[in-house]
Amino acid sequence: MQEFLVISTSVDLVRVASDDIVFVSSDGNYSSFVFASSESRIVTLQLGQVERLLAKQLPQSGSNFIRIGKSLIINRLYIHYINLHKQLLVLTAGQMVSHTLSASKEALRQLKELIEKETK
Amino acid sequence: MNTTGDINENEIRVVGTESNGGDKKPFPKWIWAVVCAIALLVAFHLLYHEPRNAEPAATAAKTETETETRSIWFNNVDASMPAATVVRDTVIDSLHLRILTPYNATPELHVGKLDTNDRDIVLATMAADLRRDNGKIVGAFVLAGEPLSWGLSKKGYCAIIDGQLTLGTAENSPLFEQATERGGYFFRQYAAVDGGKMVPNNPENASTRRALCLLDGKVSLVVCLDRVLMNDFSTSLVKLGADNAILLVGGMADGWYRDTDSHATQLGSKWTKNHKYINYMVFRKQ
pLDDT, tens digit, 9 for 90 and up, residues B6-42 = 788 889 999 987 533 333 444 555 666 777 677 777 6
Average pLDDT value for chain A: 87
Decide if B17 is inside a domain.
Answer: no
Residue B113's CB is within 10 A of a number of other CB atoms, namely 15
Decide if B174 is inside a domain.
Answer: yes
What's the total number of domains in chain A? 1
We report the CATH number of the domain holding residue A46 as 2.40.50.1020
Q: Please give the residue range of the domain that contains residue B129.
A: 66-285
Give tens-digit pLDDT for B144-164: 999 898 877 788 999 999 888
Q: Looking at chain A, which residue has its C-alpha nearest residue B277?
A: A44
Query: Distance (Å) from the C-alpha of residue A95 to the closest C-alpha of chain B?
Result: 23
pLDDT of A27 above 70: no
Q: How far, in Å, CA of B63 to CA of B172, rounded?
A: 9
What's the total number of domains in chain B? 1
pTM to 2 decimal places: 0.55
3-class DSSP state for residue B43? Answer: helix
A69 at the B interface (CB within 8 A)?
yes
Residues of B in contact with A73 (CB under 8 A): 15
Write down the pLDDT at residue B39.
73
Residues of A in contact with B18 (CB under 8 A): 55
Decide if B34 is inside a domain.
Answer: no
Percent of chain B whose pLDDT exceeds 90: 39
Which of A68, A21, A28, A63 is CA-nearest to residue A45? A28
A21 at the B interface (CB within 8 A)?
no
Q: Please give the residue range of the domain that contains residue A53.
A: 4-119
Q: How far, in Å, CA of B277 to CA of B136, rounded?
A: 6
Q: Looking at chain B, which residue has its C-alpha nearest residue A12?
A: B273
Q: How far, in Å, CA of A87 to CA of A102, rounded?
A: 6
Decide if B211 is inside a domain.
Answer: yes
Query: Distance (Å) from the C-alpha of residue B4 to the closest C-alpha of chain A?
Result: 12
Q: What does the DSSP assignment read for A31-64?
A: EEEEETTS-EEEES--HHHHHHHHHHH-TTTGGG
Average pLDDT value for chain B: 80
Decide if B48 is inside a domain.
Answer: no
Residue B34 phi, psi (nearest 5): -65, -45
Decide if B14 is inside a domain.
Answer: no
Q: How far, in Å, CA of A81 to CA of A68, rounded?
A: 15
Q: Looking at chain A, which residue has its C-alpha nearest residue B273?
A: A12
Decide if B95 is inside a domain.
Answer: yes
For chain B, list residues whose CB is within 8 angstroms of any CB belonging to chain A. Answer: 1, 7-18, 129-132, 135, 138, 204-207, 227, 249-254, 268-269, 271, 273-275
- Chosen from A24, A67, A77, A100 to mutate, greatest number of chain B CBs within 10 A: A67
